[in-house]
Amino acid sequence: MRRLITGLFLLLISFAPVAGMAEDTLFEATGEGSETLVIGSVTDLVFIEPLIREFQRANPSTAVVYRQMTSLDLYATVAEACEAGTFFADTVISSAIPEQVRLVNDGCSEPFRFSLPPDLPDWASWRNELVGLTFEPAVIVYDRQGLRPGEVPRNRFELVDLLRQTERFRGRIGTYDIESSGVGYIFAFEDAAQASTWGRLLESLGQNQAKLFCCSSEVIDGVRTGRLVLGYNVLGSYALARQEEDPRIGIIFPSDYTLALSRAAFVSRHARNKRAANALIALALTDTGQRLLSGPSRLFSSLNGPEMLNLIDTGSGPTAGEAAFRPIALSPALLVGLDQAKRRAFLDQWRKSFQAGGGE
């Protein structure tokens, strides 16, 4: 049986388009069986593994292939497979929610075969084909050894004031590279739409020669090691999980507003195992799924995320209870940020700010 599952795993890889960009992990079936669920995702495996293990407890005959990619690579690969009518994954889960909305809009998904919870917020679903599983705030992380308690900014206005000390912070601020990160781009695009401080903040990042990274984990690593004093727009799920391991990491929920996104999932129109794909997504929305997401992974749930976050004491800076959460709704409005002309103009503004300040 183990040889059979391994052979199936290799067969799946061989038929996956552009699979060389993916990092695949096999969870063998724990019981007798021959079916496989393939998940295409951007989430670090350690965060999603508890949900996979729970799914296999309820479905012991199902092996799981977890196919992890960067957000933009995942989008491009899924779009290519969708257009060609070929298989890549049974379900796709990504924090790059504008790209997820586009894939659904382009007919790459199908309606769910289960009922969504009646208490699911309106912003967390679209067309019964895309659903937000998590509730993850965009936070500011900082080095507690690099900032005195009285200096910790509580909001973007105070952050801009703090960053005027360019001699102190030059080269020691980190954020997403929005040209390569779908999550970073949507956070920045929403900031530009919602924050009166956006222009000044962007200028401050450039003047301080902010370092750009692909992922939240890299920014957090920079803060943890002291190479960075502060990281902006980091996923709170990753930050909270890492803070439990290293108290040097401070976390700020900006009190002016705190954006929150939800990793969105859909069942592929070309899925080979639609039953298992629906079962996995449905599990994430149950009480058990909420408990798993709100546990060590700190992804939290779209059903109770704000309430759970309010119970957390980060030990520094404004708590989640002081944050004005603004969830980013799953809707066609997200496609505006993907308009090629608007995207080029937005990225041009970004590049010019960093070039003017000598940032990278």
Q: What is the pLDDT of residues 163-215, one digit of tens each?
A: 999 999 999 999 999 988 888 999 999 999 988 889 999 999 999 999 999 88
Q: Is position 204 within any domain? A: yes
Q: Which residues neighbour 340 within 8 Å (Cβ) at sequence distance 6 or greater? A: none
CB atoms within 10 A of CB 99: 27
What single string gives the DSSP state of each residue in 187-228? Answer: HHHHHHHH-TTHHHHHHHHHHTT-EEESSHHHHHHHHHHTS-
> Could you give the maximum distance between any two Cα atoms of the chain, in Å?
63
Q: Are residues 202 and 245 in the same domain?
A: yes
**What pLDDT is attached to residue 2?**
46
142 neighbors 229 (Cβ within 8 angstroms): yes
Q: Is position 285 within any domain? A: yes
- Interatomic CA distance for residues 10 and 23, integer angstroms: 13
Q: Which two tokens stand for residue 356?
A: 């003017």
**What pLDDT is attached to residue 355?**
75
Report the CATH number at residue 194: 3.40.190.10
Q: Are residues 227 and 340 in the same domain?
A: yes
Helical packing angle, 45-58 and 274-284, nearest 10°: 110
**What pLDDT is attached to residue 321?**
61
**What pLDDT is attached to residue 161?**
96
**What pLDDT is attached to residue 14?**
39
253 neighbors 312 (Cβ within 8 angstroms): no
Q: Which domain holds residue 83?
A: 2-133+262-298
Q: Are residues 233 and 323 in the same domain?
A: yes
Q: Are residues 176 and 252 in the same domain?
A: yes
Q: Are residues 252 and 286 in the same domain?
A: no
Q: Are residues 224 and 164 in the same domain?
A: yes
Q: Are residues 88 and 141 in the same domain?
A: no
Question: Which among 137, 231, 122 is positioned nearest to 190, based on CA atoms?
Answer: 137
Q: Are residues 180 and 219 in the same domain?
A: yes
Q: Is position 308 within any domain? A: no
**What pLDDT is attached to residue 13?**
44
Q: Are residues 18 and 37 in the same domain?
A: yes
Q: Are residues 79 and 225 in the same domain?
A: no
Q: What are phi and psi of 248, to 5 degrees?
A: -65, -20
Q: Is position 55 within any domain? A: yes
DSSP 8-state secondary structure symbol assigned to residue 57: H
Number of domains in the chain: 2
3-state secondary structure 253-299: CCCCCEEEECCEEEEECCCCCHHHHHHHHHHHCCHHHHHHHCCCCCC
Q: Is position 304 within any domain? A: no
Q: Is position 309 within any domain? A: no
**What pLDDT is attached to residue 317?**
55
Q: Are residues 102 and 167 in the same domain?
A: no
**What pLDDT is attached to residue 293?**
87
Which residues sit opposite 93 in a β-bridge?
41, 265
List the chain residues with pLDDT less than 70: 1-20, 313-323, 356-360
242 neighbors 224 (Cβ within 8 angstroms): yes
**What pLDDT is attached to residue 294?**
83
Q: What is the pLDDT of residues 53-89, one digit of tens each?
A: 999 999 999 999 999 998 889 999 999 999 999 999 9
First to last CA, the chain: 51
Q: Is position 275 within any domain? A: yes
Q: Is position 307 within any domain? A: no
Q: Are residues 53 and 107 in the same domain?
A: yes
Given CA atoms 71, 73, 79, 85 in this order, what sign does their dihedral have?
negative
Helices (H), the chain: 2-15, 45-58, 71-84, 97-105, 156-162, 166-169, 182-194, 198-207, 216-225, 236-243, 274-284, 287-293, 305-309, 340-357
